[in-house]
Amino acid sequence: MKTKYYKPSDSSIAYSVGTTLDRFIKIKQDEFSFASGELSQILRDIALAAKIVNRETNRAGLANIGGAFGQTNVQGEEQQKLDVIANIRFTRALTKGGEVCAVVSEEDDEVIDLQNGSGKYVVAIDPLDGSSNIDVNISIGTIFSIYRRATPIGSPIQPEDIMQPGCQQVAAGYVLYGSSTMLVYTTGHGVNGFTYEPSLGEFFLSHPNMCAPKDGDIYSINEGTSNLFEPGLKKYIELCKERQFSARYIGSLVADFHRNLLKGGIYIYPATSKSPKGKLRLLYEANALAFIAEQAGGMATDGYGRILDIKPTSLHQRTPLFIGSPNMVVEAENYLKAFQERVVEK
Ligand code: AFP
C-alpha cells in the first residue's frame, strides 16, 4: 500500500477555522490533577445547552416564548418563559451527561437530586440571568459553577456537597448571549473565551488567556437606589464622577461583568439599607464570576472580604458584589471600610 504524508494546502479554502471548544477542552484536560474526562464532559454538556438556549433566545420575538411564564421563582421574581426553557435545557443536558449528581438552580427552590449514583460533581447555575432584558432585546447570560461533591460518590446528597465556599470550585463560566454569543470559562488555569459560529454550530477560541486590566475608568452600578447606599460607597461613586469615569450599566450581570473584564472597570451590586445583603446570589452568580475575575487577575469582594471565602449558609443566599479591575475594587473597599471606621469611632 502506498502512503503519503499529509501536507496542508496553501489554498485559502484550507485556512484554519480555529480551535473549537471541544478540541480546546480535550487539549487542556491534562491540567486537572484528578482529570478523567468527567469535568470536560460537563463543560461540553453546558456548551450544548447554551447552543440551544442561544437558538431560542434569537427567536424570542418570533416564537411566542418572550414574556412572563406566569409564576414567580423562589426569589419572588417573575419567571420569564425563557427562564423556564433555559432551566429545563441546562438541567436536562447535565442529567444526560451523567457526571453530575446535583444541581442548584436559581429557578428551583430546592436542590435537584439527579439520582445519579456515579456523579462526582455538583453544578450551581443561573440558567438565564438578566431575563427582564429578554423582551427588549438586550444581552443576557448564563452563569455556572462546578464543584466536586464532598461526600462519597453514590451516597445520598448532603448539605456539605452543596454548601461549599467558592474557593472550592473546580470550574466556572458564563455564556453571554449578546451581539455575538460567547462562552467564557476557567478551570483554575486562566480564563479563555469562545465565540459561537452559528453557521458551523461551534464555539471557537476567540479570547485566549483573558486578563483583567489592573485599573479602569468604567463603573457599573444601579444608582437609582443611591440614597440607600452606605456612606463609603456614596463617597466612592462621587470619586468616580470627579474622575469623569464612564457610567455603564445595562442590568445584565454577565454583560456588565464581561465589558469590564475586557475594558477595565468595576461592577457593584451593593448592600443597601433596604437590602443589606444586596440582590445577587452567592452560589450561582457571585462565586462563578469571582473565580473567573481572580483567574483573570481581577478581584471580587462583598465590600469587606473575598467572595470566594464566604461559607454559604443557605441555598439562595444573597451577597453584595464588588468585582472587576483589582485597583478599583481595592479602592472601593477602602472607602467602605474607612467610612465605616469613622462612623464607629464617633
Ligand atoms: P433579572 O434576571 O431579574 O433581570 O435580574 C438580573 C440581575 O440579577 C443581574 O443580572 C443584574 O445585574 C441585576 O439583577 C440588576 O438588578 P437591578 O435592576 O436592581 O439593577
pLDDT digits (tens, 9 = 90+) for 279-319: 999 999 999 999 999 999 999 999 999 999 999 999 999 99
Residue 34: predicted pLDDT: 61
Does residue 130 line the site of ligand 1, with CB under 6 A?
Answer: yes
Residue nearest ligand 1's atom 13 by CA: 251
Alpha helices in 157-224 (DSSP H): 159-162
Distance, in Å, from the CA atom of 46 to the CA atom of 60, rounded to the nearest integer, reads 20
Tell me: pLDDT of 129 over 90: yes
Determine the atom of ligand 1 nearest the C-alpha atom of 285: 8
3-state SS class at 59: coil
Distance, in Å, from the CA atom of 157 to the CA atom of 51, rounded to the nearest integer, reads 29
Q: Residue 260 is placed in which grid cell? A: 469590564
Q: Residue 197 is placed in which grid cell? A: 459560529
Q: How far apart are the CA of 251 and the centre of ligand 1, in A?
A: 5
Does residue 77 line the site of ligand 1, with CB under 6 A?
Answer: yes
Residue 30: predicted pLDDT: 73
Residue nearest ligand 1's atom 1 by CA: 130
Does residue 252 line the site of ligand 1, with CB under 6 A?
Answer: yes
Distance, in Å, from the CA atom of 108 to the CA atom of 125, rounded to the nearest integer, reads 10
Predicted TM-score (pTM) of this structure: 0.92
Please name the amino acid found at residue 214. K
Distance, in Å, from the CA atom of 1 to the CA atom of 152, rounded to the nearest integer, reads 53
Tell me: pLDDT of 78 over 80: no
Residue 343: predicted pLDDT: 44
Tell me: pLDDT of 268 over 50: yes
CA atoms within 13 A on the CB side of 155: 9
Distance, in Å, from the CA atom of 181 to the CA atom of 296, rounded to the nearest integer, reads 20
Residue range 93-106: mean pLDDT, rounded: 92
DSSP code at position 284? I
| Cα Dmax for the chain | 91
Q: How far apart are the CA of 344 and the centre of ligand 1, in A?
A: 32
Angle between helices 287-295 and 253-263 (to 10 degrees): 10
